[in-house]
Amino acid sequence: MALMDKHKQVKRQRLDRICEGEIYTRKQSQSIRPPILNGPMHPRPLVALLDGRDCTVEMPILKDVATVAFCDAQSTQEIHEKVLNEAVAALLYHTITLSRDDLEKFKGLRVIVRIGSGFDNVDIKAAAELGIAVCNVPASSVEETADTSLCLILNLYRRVTWMHQALREGTRASSVEQIREVAGGAARIRGETLGIIGLGRVGQAVALRAKAFGFGVIFYDPYLPDGVERSLGLQRMATLQDLLIHSDCVSLHCSLNEHNHHLINDFTIKQMRQGAFLVNTSRGGLVDEKALAQALKEGRIRGAALDVHETEPFSFSTGPLKDAPNLICTPHTSWYSEQASVEAREEAAREVRRAITGRIPDSLKNCVNKEYLMAASQWPSMEAATVHPELNGATYRFPPGLINVAAVGGLPGAVAGVESLVSGTLSHGITPVSHPPHAPSPNKAEADRDIPSDQ
């Protein structure tokens, strides 16, 4: 009896440490996960939301096929060892980065779904070589991002932000001279030329909105087929330099990859029209902020509006932009509305469900590294597992609050699975297989400009 009490006390201490948020680490394994198998996953896999804590939208979609845990982590060092060992699917936003080293920490990961469209925070080539499919949700925030982009463009032209600040600071604008001083720099929009870099979903939505305000719209996108400009009534530029030379305002709507980092730099800024505007709601790495700050101070760029930054979360108190004039910054929120947020989470959960119940990558709707997967992996068949009614996810049902795991369906018998979590492994039935050597990555350049940034 005393021995049993002592055993329970040890268990209780371990649970207390987990509930208090203690971070567990493990030695990184030298082996990598088995190749992706063709066929449905085994029942009750563990799905982890890596950088969030709210699973209420995802649970109704996944609760009958998986257990959903949340980690609320900013790096893989903060993710519990059980998740690293057992998760077969991961959901994530843009606030956590998964490099090759991070991906290798996951023992059984099969699919990653980015809740949003941009996926530059995941090494998709390394993921493919490790047998992990990477997906995104490209459509949910198209309208929100386009509306925000146009809002920032209009703000730069009409200087609403600066007029508001002037009034808040006590500036009087009763006479014509005072109005002229406060509103100095405000410009007429009709007849101005808006240059769009990257005519994907968001780029096209911005172009259609801008035309209604009287902008002439030109664009540069080397990945689009001929004729798109005719269907939308736009003018296509053959080179980036042509677009910069002819634009009064430049708006960025392309994904970030190794080919376009610091696309806007000191050299390309000098190719822009004197006094042009710059707007970026895409990815912060597209703009060299040091070069932009210098151009704003010298007046070569009349004003800039950035929703995304090289270092996030952004702060005016640090970085090269802290003293830059005529600058509007927002905290990576152009993607957000209540509706868009829910739609993105629902679609991400549906993509995970397709991965669990179908075949990877064939059943996936928005797999962004499918070509790399096909080149790097072998595809043996896998028979669907027989679900025993008594093993239908029992070991995955945890009480609320345990290592940040959301209880499935609020089942009263959830506590029964706790001891198996702490003392043993989570048995979803996927048998480990030794991973083949890394396959070489294809040398094909990424062509992702048709996928707008989310955020």
pLDDT digits (tens, 9 = 90+) for 282-302: 999 999 999 999 999 999 999
User: Has residue 387 got a pLDDT over 60?
Assistant: no
Percent of the chain as helix, strand, coil, to the nearest 5: 35, 15, 50
Give the chain's end-to-end CA distance (angstroms, integer).
56
Residues facing 46 on adjacent strands = 67, 87
Residue 376: its pLDDT value, please?
A: 80
Residue 400: its pLDDT value, please?
A: 39
Mean pLDDT of 127-131: 96
**Rg of the chain on CA atoms, in Å:** 25
Residue 39: its pLDDT value, please?
A: 53
User: Has residue 367 got a pLDDT over 50?
Assistant: yes
Q: Are 435 and 131 within 8 A, CB to CB?
A: yes
Which of 283, 300, 302, 397 is labelled catalytic? Answer: 283
Catalytic residue flag (residue 283): yes
Of 434, 441, 440, 442, give the one whose Cα is nearest residue 35: 434
How far is residue 208's CA from residue 253's CA, in Å, rounded to a whole number?
14
Catalytic residue flag (residue 312): yes
How far is residue 121's CA from residue 308's CA, in Å, rounded to a whole number?
14
Which of 17, 259, 312, 438 is labelled catalytic? Answer: 312
* Strands annotated E in 318-394: 327-329
- Is the Cα dihedral 95, 99, 105, 109 positive or negative? positive
Mean pLDDT score across all residues of the chain: 81
Which of 332, 354, 359, 428 is labelled catalytic? Answer: 332
Residue 44: its pLDDT value, please?
A: 84
Number of helices followed by number of strands (H, E) in the chain: 16, 12
What SS3 state is found at 381? strand
Mean pLDDT of 414-439: 37
- Is the Cα dihedral 235, 236, 238, 241 positive or negative? positive
Residue 375: its pLDDT value, please?
A: 87
Contacts 24+ apart (CB under 8 A), 289-294: 289/319, 289/320, 289/321, 290/320, 291/262, 291/264, 291/265, 291/266, 292/264, 292/320, 292/321, 292/324, 293/320, 293/321, 293/323, 293/324, 294/266
Residue 33: its pLDDT value, please?
A: 53
Residue 42: its pLDDT value, please?
A: 52
Residue 221: its pLDDT value, please?
A: 97
Residue 379: its pLDDT value, please?
A: 47
Q: Are 369 and 128 within 8 A, CB to CB?
A: yes
What residue type is 331 in one-letter code? Answer: P
The two three-digit tokens of residue 200, written as one number? 């994907």
Helix (H) or strand (E) holding 305, with range, is strand 301-306
Length of the chain: 455
Q: Are 47 and 87 within 8 A, CB to CB?
A: yes
Burial of 143 (0-12, 13-18, 19+ CB in 10 A): middle
Cα-based distances in Å from 270 to 274, 276, 301: 8, 11, 9
Percent of the chain with pLDDT over 90: 71
- Is the Cα dihedral 148, 149, 154, 156 positive or negative? positive
User: Has residue 417 got a pLDDT over 90?
Assistant: no
User: Has residue 67 got a pLDDT over 60?
Assistant: yes
Mean pLDDT of 225-232: 94
pLDDT digits (tens, 9 = 90+) for 84-122: 999 999 999 999 999 999 999 999 999 999 999 999 999
Residue 377: its pLDDT value, please?
A: 60
Catalytic residue flag (residue 332): yes
Mean pLDDT of 331-339: 97
Percent of the chain with pLDDT over 70: 73
Residues facing 69 on adjacent strands = 48, 405
